[in-house]
Amino acid sequence: MLAEERRSRLLEFVRRRRFASLPELSKQVRVSESTVRRDLEHLEQQGSIRRIHGGVLYSGTSPKLPHFEARQPAEWAQKKAIAARAVGLIENADTVLLDGGSTTYEVARMLVGRPVHVVTTSLPVANLLASDSHSDLVLIGGNICPRTGVAQGPYADRMLALVRVRKTILSVAGINDEGCFNNNLLLVATERAMMKAADEVIVVADSTKFGRQSLTHLCRLEDIDHLVVDHGITEDWRSKVAAAGVHLLVADPTDDEQPRDEIAAG
């Protein structure tokens, strides 16, 4: 069996099972565990699986959400760096509320295998964490957006009113002098409920979002506790964020997933 065919079979097996042990995978493709380890290393570098103690978890997006998957490659290096920086704000045993943005999905990837409590409005995020024995998962219900798999609307808002979390992590479509924006009225109402449920609000946004607005205003800059961005943010925006009293964390894709704080305002 060629390496590509073997890796494809391994990935499909993990995708169906959500979790698989090394002996199971070795038996599935009839090769040694050392060969499987090399294949898994290759698949993990692609972002398809996540190796944890005892086996591997599937970390791909749902094939039923092509619009969500289409957004994933955009600014991917920046999103991964931002997610790694944001994960540094999350402590073991924290309760974290995640929305359905592509950058927050990268955050969820990096939480696999960690002992945290995750609450989410996102079916892709829930699908990713459902088989992770290290975390506890709560899925918020409501009207599901077919393009993104995210719950929103009055049912989601009512359930969120019963939730209390340490940190909420949100993606946004635009940031300008008025604050943060997103492109869906129902989504924004639900994200406001997510902000209200949290002790701390973290917004993750790549630098292309700055100076832009979208359909609906979400919040002022002052309503955010932490803003995590990539190194493309301008000096002008660094100053504006600091003036708003927001803790700005700047991630660089070339850093080792633990970049320094650029500005610590507040």
Distance in angstroms (rounded) separating the CA atoms of residues 168 and 24:
37
The verdict on 192 and 240 lying in the same domain is yes
CATH code at 134?
A: 3.40.50.1360
The verdict on 104 and 212 lying in the same domain is yes
- Residues with Cβ within 8 Å of 230's Cβ and at least 6 positions away in sequence, in order, are 75, 78, 81, 82, 206, 207, 250, 251, 252, 253
The verdict on 87 and 130 lying in the same domain is yes
The verdict on 12 and 96 lying in the same domain is no
pLDDT at 6 over 50: yes
The verdict on 142 and 86 lying in the same domain is yes
pLDDT value at residue 5: 84
pLDDT value at residue 264: 37
pLDDT at 19 over 60: yes
The verdict on 129 and 235 lying in the same domain is yes
The verdict on 70 and 133 lying in the same domain is yes
The verdict on 23 and 151 lying in the same domain is no
pLDDT at 58 over 90: no
Domain count, the chain: 2
Its domain, for residue 181, covers: 66-264
The verdict on 25 and 125 lying in the same domain is no
pLDDT value at residue 15: 78
The verdict on 81 and 177 lying in the same domain is yes
The verdict on 111 and 13 lying in the same domain is no
The domain boundary, picked from 36, 58, 80, lies at 58
The verdict on 81 and 117 lying in the same domain is yes
